[in-house]
Amino acid sequence: MIFPSPRALLPFSSPRRIDEPFLTIEDASKDYRALTLNFSYLDASGWYWGGISASEAHSVLKGASEGTFLIRDSSHPDYMLTLSVKTVRGPTNVRIEYRQCRFSLDSSSPARSHLQSFPDVHSLVQHYVGSKSEKNEEKMEEAHHVISSAPKECSVLLKLKKPIHCPQGFPSLKHLTRLVINKHTSSTEMLPLPNPLLYYLQNYPFQL
């Protein structure tokens, strides 16, 4: 199955792998809601670079520090999105798999069945971003299997630290304030703020 651009998918059908069962109307409705919400988050983030190529992503990340990343449209016909990240060996691409309203990092290694899936790309990315705690080291060890099925000495440990914003999507002061608030509380609905501000916070419940 050949996919058009991610945007073109939204009003019509859902991107699914060819080994999945026939798409029902109910499935299509769920996919539509999941994808629409996901792209609204991506648009608000400032680090979704749209249809740039792999070589363009590599140019953007070439001078960045290890762990810097961005999300872009995938050039592979079976995938919508790709995570491009600067590793210790240079920029690397990891496809993002979408299946049954869930997103996960693609892998051909035996660890694939153990990789977690998430309702949106932001939750996936946020899962792998954090301090160098023991728990986070386990997450990165899990992610290591994603970018290489070669022997461990030939693999590259995937580390996500911070996104790089596209020139047109640099965040506003309002959005940066929202990120700071989200880093300090997961219960924004309890804050003594006017309803319009509470609604704004709830529209982007992430820290990146």
For the CA atoms of 65, 69, 73, 79, the dihedral, rounded to the nearest 10 degrees, stands at 120
129 - beta bridge partners? 160
| Whether 100 and 175 share a structural domain | no
Give the pLDDT band of residue 24 (cuts 50, 70, 90). confident
Of 41-45, 94-98, 102-106, 111-115, the range with the lowest mean pLDDT is 111-115
For residues 8-17, average pLDDT? 46
Q: How far apart are CA 6 and CA 80, in angstroms?
A: 6
Model pLDDT, residue 158: 76
35 three-state secondary structure = helix
| Residue 85 and residue 61 in contact, taking contact as beta carbons nearer than 8 Å | yes
Across the chain, mean pLDDT equals: 81
Q: Which domain holds residue 105?
A: 6-163
In a domain, 1, yes or no: no
| Whether 190 and 112 share a structural domain | no
| Whether 89 and 175 share a structural domain | no
| Whether 87 and 180 share a structural domain | no
In a domain, 183, yes or no: yes
| Whether 187 and 98 share a structural domain | no
pLDDT at 201 over 60: yes
| Whether 42 and 103 share a structural domain | yes
Domain at 141, CATH number: 3.30.505.10
Split into its structural domains, the chain has a count of 2
In a domain, 207, yes or no: no
pLDDT tens readout for residues 85-108 = 999 989 999 999 999 899 999 865
Model pLDDT, residue 108: 58
In a domain, 54, yes or no: yes
| Whether 44 and 139 share a structural domain | yes
Nearest Cα neighbor of 128 from 161, 86, 88 is 161
pTM across the whole model: 0.79
| Whether 84 and 179 share a structural domain | no
pLDDT at 141 over 80: no
In a domain, 145, yes or no: yes
| Whether 182 and 149 share a structural domain | no
Model pLDDT, residue 111: 52
| Whether 158 and 188 share a structural domain | no
| Whether 132 and 178 share a structural domain | no
| Whether 107 and 191 share a structural domain | no
The number of angstroms, rounded, from the C-alpha of 6 to the middle of its chain's C-alpha atoms is 14
Domain at 187, CATH number: 1.10.750.20
